[in-house]
Amino acid sequence: MTTEERLTQLERRNRWLTAALVLAGIAGVLAGCVAAIPGSGESEPQECVTARRFLLVDADGKHRAELSAIKDGPALALFDENDKERIILSAWKDGPLLVLSDENGRVLGGLP
């Protein structure tokens, strides 16, 4: 394997690790948002919130993220300001999936 091929492979891995860290950060922010709901500190916290789907919208009501449990497994989708799916992270029964798309919906890369 040439040095250039190794560098390309390392750059590709770095992009995926960066994307995974961004997704983990967003999941943390989502958890923080749920914890910061007004009135949530006035009473005992709920032990469990059960749902098949959570939607996150911005100040204008635009769809920005979705956490859902579908028959193939859980999935997290992030949307841009034009309601286009840009990042999908899932743990399907066939294995994990990460897909990155551009503003036109063209897949830029993914795992596996």
- From first to last of its 112 residues, what are the pLDDT tens digits of the chain? 898 888 888 888 777 777 777 777 777 777 776 666 665 555 676 788 888 899 989 888 888 999 998 888 899 999 999 999 999 999 888 888 899 999 998 998 888 7
Residue-wise DSSP of 31-90: HHHHHT-TTTTSSPPPS----SEEEEE-TT--EEEEEEEETTEEEEEEE-TTS-EEEEEE
Strand order in the sheet with 107-111: 53-57, 63-70, 73-79, 85-92, 95-101, 107-111
Tokens of 6: 């190794």
Q: What is the pTM of this model?
A: 0.59
- Reply yes or no: is the peptide bond before residue 112 cis, omega within 30 of 0: yes
